[in-house]
Amino acid sequence: MASLMEMKEIFRSADAVCFDVDSTVIREEGIDELAKFCGVGDAVAEMTRRAMGGTVTFKAALTARLGLIRPSYEQVQKLISDNPPQLTPGIRELVSRLHQRGVQVFLVSGGFQSIVEHVALQLNIPTANVFANRLKFYFNGEYAGFDETQPTAESGGKGKVIAHLKQQFQFKKVVMIGDGATDMEACPPGDCFIGFGGNVIRKQVKEKAKWYITHFDELLKELEER
């Protein structure tokens, strides 16, 4: 088990850094914002709370919540244009600094591809580096489900993405940063997990993460150490 000092060294010398998106890179939870926008916010928030308790699988919780929201293609696009995701303070600078150092940055999210790609664009992250869930629509734009083959649609999916990245790019050190249990569970195969509590503090993550931060400036300072 790596010590905090060893973890900081892994972060400083990482080949790739993977960020969770909802409540980490952005301030809100995408699915809750979409639910509010579609008029079923309270019911979906209650489902989210139950899902966080770990009594249902991620896929079952996602299926149930989306079944309630049933967002159309038009609603998703309007949400992005009317209420664009709010970047967490410090993330733009941190991603820019990682890019300057030649570190590959990935967004690995249980949220939705269309929203996450919008975030990636703001951070100069290529869309090929986005791993998220894909909503499906009928020709008339009505909701048709989601792509259940995406690794992020499953519990343990973020770890599968990191394993895939290591195999594909031969990365030696991959760091995962996020606010939730699904992010913490991605290490291993990730080499280091950094818990983030700048938007929401999840008790289980704060208690178990060896390295826990509340502002991205803390990671920027680490990069300046070297």
pLDDT band of 208, cuts 50, 70, 90: confident
Pick the catalytic residue from 15, 22, 82, 217.
22
Mean pLDDT, all residues of the chain: 87
Respond yes or no: is residue 42 known to be catalytic. Answer: no
**Is the predicted pLDDT of residue 4 greater than 70, yes or no?**
yes
Give the residue from 39, 28, 102, 30 showing the smallest Cα distance to 70.
39
Domains of the chain, each with CATH number or no CATH:
4-29+85-224 (3.40.50.1000), 34-82 (1.10.150)
Give the residue from 145, 209, 152 showing the smallest Cα distance to 177.
209
**Is the predicted pLDDT of residue 200 greater than 80, yes or no?**
no
**Is the predicted pLDDT of residue 6 greater than 90, yes or no?**
no
Predicted pLDDT of residue 61:
83
Cα dist from 71 to 24, 118, 148, 202, whole Å: 23, 18, 17, 28
Respond yes or no: is residue 22 known to be catalytic. Answer: yes
Which tens digit of pLDDT belongs to each residue from 148-187?
Answer: 888 888 878 899 999 999 988 888 898 999 988 888 888 8
Which tens digit of pLDDT belongs to each residue from 43-100?
Answer: 887 777 666 555 677 788 888 889 999 999 999 999 999 988 889 999 999 999 999 9
According to DSSP, the residues that pair with 177 across neighbouring strands are: 19, 194
